[in-house]
Amino acid sequence: MPTSFEFIPADSSGRSNAAERTRIRSRCMQGKNKRDGSRRSLREARRGTPKPALSVPQPPPSNVAISLAEDIGRQSRETLFKVFAYKSLEQSMSPLKDCVSFSPIETKCFEWLFNDASFLHALLLVGSMMNDFNLYNIQQPGSKTYKYLRKTILLLNIKLGEQEAHSKDSTLYVVITLTMLAAWSSDWRAASAHIAGLYKIVELRGGLEYLAQRPKLHFKLDRIDLAWALSSGERPYFLPIVVSWDPLFPRDQLPNHVRASMLSMEGNVDERLATVFHDLQFLTYTINTHAQKHTKWEADSFQAILNSIQARLLRLPSTPTDPLSESMRLGMLAFLTTMFAMPGRKIPYPFLAHRFRGLFQKWKNADDRKRRPTVQLWALTVGAVSAVVDVDEDWFLEAWKACSSALETSWEEARLRLLSVMWIECMHDNSGRMAFQQLCTRVHGSEPNLQGSYEGRS
């Protein structure tokens, strides 16, 4: 406490009065008559402690450099930035973003930029190919893209020579990236080699049991595997053993009004095909419900169901002599491809397109019992939306004309028919409506009606 002085009045003999003496005694005892550790002592100690000066952090230098796994130039850094901007965009624009709770981009990916040169160059390869296809609108990768591709494969081969390379997540992600880009550029020969490598890595890490614990990775591999099979006609790599053909969902789980509006194939086709058809109907109904309620389906549950449906569907034999069954089988395969999209580019499926072409030639000779216009409309529309078929080919336009003329339907009526089979509203409505209008205009020479009533299913 700072020292201070006061003047005290006194009488002629030098004595102060009683009040002043009490005041003097009080001042003399300040800081003396108190107990250490009391609240009062602690409070006074805090008051007497000088406050520390505020420390202002120094701003970072303007020439901060990030030490990546390998030195790259300014243009490559810009490409890398675009890749991560795209990754964020991918999360917000995924076809199933509104209804399935897949985890966001993994934070480990950022770490690999600083310690894994093969992963760094794989991302540069992604960015360069995005520029080629979307920015420059060229059909084949450019010279810079091939440069990144050669460097990525070189670094990956060096890495694969290391001990336990298969156990590193970054290795798996690099091979997945190479596979997806090969599919994106329709290089199925390269895609086949990469998928074979993926299969070996996954087997070394535990096979399907390993994938079951990673639904997002499993979903991605299933979509790549399906794309490979439908493009090449070869057997998928990640095809699990079908344990049971029993339905995943009892039909009575659906609300009565929903069940009544759905097309049933029981008794009309092979029992196994009818079961897979019903399960995929239930899956799409649940997806639509989550999207409408703005809720999300847990990824592990969703992927387990989708994996079972895809495995059973791929094991079903072709039935070229039964147009109805083959329309359902090929239509469902095309339907599944819509869950795997590349930004700004459609993946061609030449093998599946060939099967579609042969199928609709047989519709001409089908008897009335086998003519199911709703199934035919659905298969044609899904084929157009998924880009499995070339809608400019004569056979497709002829099939569309016969189907649309038989139904004499508007888009609203057609949409109800599509929903009665299977249709994911948040994914298919816009592209389906556009394809329907364009095809009707080409075939009939006028815009179709947009409104109408739908009173039955066939």
In a domain, 37, yes or no: no
The phi, psi pair for 59, rounded to 5°, reads -65, 145
| Domain co-membership, 331 together with 416 | yes
CA distances (Å), origin 358, targets 182, 287, 336: 28, 32, 20
- Domain membership of residue 64 (yes or no) is no
Looking at 166, 201, 232, the residue that finishes a domain is 232
Measured between alpha carbons, how far is 378 from 265 in angstroms, rounded to an integer? 14
Are 190 and 284 found together in one domain? no
What confidence score (pLDDT) does residue 11 get? Answer: 63
Contacts of 95 (CB under 8 A, 6+ apart): 338, 339, 341, 426, 427
Same domain, 323 and 201: no
Three-state secondary-structure class, residue 298: strand
- What per-residue confidence (pLDDT) applies to 311? 94
In a domain, 368, yes or no: yes
Q: Domain check: are 356 and 383 in the same one?
A: yes
Domain tally, the chain: 2
298 has which bridge partners? 101
Check if the beta carbon of residue 435 is closer than 8 Å to that of residue 385: yes
Domain limits for position 342: 251-444
How confident is the model at residue 202, as a pLDDT? 94
Given this model, what pLDDT does residue 55 score? 41
What is the C-alpha separation between 90 and 83, in angstroms, rounded?
A: 10
Whether 2 is in a domain gets the answer no
Domain identity same for 396 and 277: yes
How wide is the angle at C-alpha 387 spanned by C-alphas 386 and 393, nearest 5°? 140
Q: What's the rounded Cα separation, in Å, for the pair 332 and 27?
A: 96
φ, ψ of residue 342 in degrees (nearest 5)? -100, 140
Same domain for 314 and 227 = no
Where is the domain boundary, 232, 260, 290? 232
Q: Is 287 exposed, middle or buried (0-12, 13-18, 19+ CB in 10 A)?
A: buried
287 and 157, same domain (yes or no):
no
- In this predicted structure, what is the pLDDT of residue 327? 93
Amino acid identity for residue 48 in this structure: G
Q: Are residues 202 and 258 in the same domain?
A: no
- Tell me: do 361 and 392 sit in the same domain: yes
Q: Is 209 exposed, middle or buried (0-12, 13-18, 19+ CB in 10 A)?
A: exposed
Whats the size of the chain, residue-wise?
Answer: 458
Within-domain flag for 81: yes
Q: Which residues pair with 297 in a beta bridge?
A: 100
In a domain, residue 181? The reply is yes
Residues 436 and 297 in one domain: yes
Question: What's the confidence (pLDDT) of residue 62?
Answer: 37
Residues 322/326/329/332 CA torsion (nearest 10 deg): -130
Residues 177 and 319 occupy one common structural domain: no
Per-residue pLDDT in tens (0 to 9) along the chain, 458 residues: 445 555 556 565 656 676 666 766 666 666 565 566 566 665 666 555 554 444 434 433 434 345 666 667 666 666 665 565 455 444 434 678 778 887 655 556 777 877 888 988 888 888 888 778 776 666 778 888 899 899 999 999 999 998 888 898 889 989 998 998 888 888 888 999 999 999 999 999 999 889 888 888 888 899 889 999 999 999 999 988 877 899 998 877 778 878 888 888 888 899 999 999 999 999 999 999 999 999 999 888 999 999 999 999 999 999 888 989 999 999 999 999 998 776 666 788 999 999 999 988 888 776 655 568 899 999 999 999 987 888 888 989 998 988 887 777 889 999 999 999 999 999 999 999 999 999 998 887 766 655 544 444 44
pLDDT, position 414: 93
Q: How many Cβ atoms from other residues are within 10 Å of residue 54's Cβ?
A: 5
**Is residue 285 in a domain?**
yes
* pLDDT score recorded for residue 171: 92
**For residues 31 and 208, what is the distance between their CA atoms, to the nearest angstrom?**
78
**Which of 185, 202, 232 represents a domain boundary (last residue)?**
232
Give the list of residues 6+ apart from residue 104 with CB closer than 8 angstroms, or none.
91
Which residues does 454 contact at the CB level (< 8 Å), separation at least 6? 409, 412, 413, 416, 417
Residue 56 lies in a domain: no
Q: Are 398 and 427 in a shared domain? A: yes
User: What is the token pair recorded at 227?
Assistant: 């794309």
pLDDT at 230: 93
- 402 token code pair: 């016969």
Residues 6+ apart with CB under 8 A from 305: 248, 279, 283
